[in-house]
Homo-oligomer: A and B are copies of this chain.
Amino acid sequence: MAGAPNIREVALRAGVSVGTVSNVLNRPELVAEPTRERVFAAIAELGFVRNDSARQLRVGRSRTLGLVVLDVANPFFTDVARGVEDTANQHGLAVILCNTDEDPRKEASHLDLLAEMRVQGVLINPIDTDGRITALRDRGIPVVLFDRLGDPAVECSVAVDDVLGGRLAATHLVEAGHRSILFVGGPLTLRQVQERYEGASAVVSARDDVELTILTTTALNVAAGRAAGDRLATADRDALPSAVFCANDLLALGVLQALTHAGLRVPADVAIVGYDDIDFAAAAAVPLSSVRQPRQQLGRTAAELLLAETTEDEHEHRQVVFEPELIVRDSSVR
C-alpha cells in the first residue's frame, strides 16, 4: 500500500472513477474545474506517480528516443547529444544514450534493448548497416542516421560533408607548402574515416609533387593517438612526414602529446590538423587547427527529422548535409 498507490486508489480518495483520473492526467480540459482540483489534491496526498509501463502498454509506444553513439567520452558526441536532448525535451521525450565503443556486438545488443522498449525512434551513427536497422524499421520504429548519409528511399539522415572536410584540410596543408602528409585514423570501416581520407586523397592525387600515406588506428581516442604519435616519433627521422591530418581531434591531441613528449616541435617539425573542432582543440598545448562541424545543430536536426517521421502522415525522407569549415590555429602554420 505504502509502496505505490495506483490510479484506482486515487479515484477512490477523490470520489471519482478511474476514467476521470486518467482524463485529469491526459486531457484536463475535459474535466470540470472542481473535480480536477479534488483529483489533484488526492494525487498530492497519496504521492501518486503514474506507472509508465502500464501507460506504454496501452498506448503502444513509449515517450523515449534512443541515441546510439560510438563513444560518449568524445566531446563531439556529447555535443550532438546535447542538441538531441534539447529538441527531445521540448517535445516531452526522454533520451536514452547508448554507447557502442565502436563494437558491433554492443551496437546490436543496444538496438535489441531499444526495440524491446518500443522507443519512438532511434538516432544512430551506425558501425555496420547490418539487418538490425532494417528490422527496427520493419517493426515501425523510425531510424535516422546521423553523421552518415543513408539511402534516401528508406531513411532520413543528417551528415556533414566529410569528403569536403578532408579536402579542406589537405588543401590547407598543401598550400602551406607541405609535400608529405600522413593521414592518421581508423578503423577504415568507419565511413567518416574513409571519406575524410578520400577528400584528402583527391586533393593530393591532383598533383604529382605531394605524397599522402596512411597510418591506421584501432580507435578514435586520445590513447590511439598517443600510440600513433609514439610510432612516428620512434621511426626513422627521415621518414617523418611534414604534416599529419587526423581523423578526429582526440587522435590529434594524442599525436600532439606524443610528438611533444618526444621532443619534436609542432608545427615546426610536424604540422597537425584535426577534425571536429571540439572545445579542447583550442585549448591544446599547441592550439589545434581543425575542421569544424555544427555539432549541436547536427543533433537538433536529426531529432527534428525523427519527430517529423513519427508525426507526419505523408513522410518524405530527407537528407540534410551540412558543410564543414576549416579553423586554422597554430598547429599548422609555421
Instruction: Indicate how many identical chains form the complex.
Output: 2
Task: Give the CA-CA distance A135 to B52 in the complex, in Å.
Answer: 17
Least CB distance from A286 to B in Å reads: 7
Complex contact A57–B47 (CB within 8 A):
no
In A89-120, which residues have CB < 8 Å from any B CB? 94-99, 110, 112-113, 115-118
B-chain residues with CB within 8 Å of residue A78 when the two chains form the complex: 72-73, 78
In the complex, residue of chain B having the shortest beta-carbon distance to the beta carbon of A5 = B139
Partner of A118, one of B51, B112, B139, B254: B51
Q: Which residues of A contact B (CB under 8 A)?
A: 2-4, 47, 49-54, 56-57, 62, 72-73, 75, 78-79, 81-82, 85, 94-99, 110, 112-113, 115-118, 135, 138-140, 222, 253-254, 256-257, 279-280, 282-287
Known: A73-B78, A73-B79, A253-B280. 20 other contacts (CB 8 A): A2-B138, A3-B139, A3-B140, A47-B135, A49-B115, A50-B116, A51-B118, A53-B62, A53-B117, A53-B118, A72-B97, A73-B82, A95-B97, A96-B96, A97-B97, A222-B279, A257-B283, A283-B284, A285-B286, A285-B287
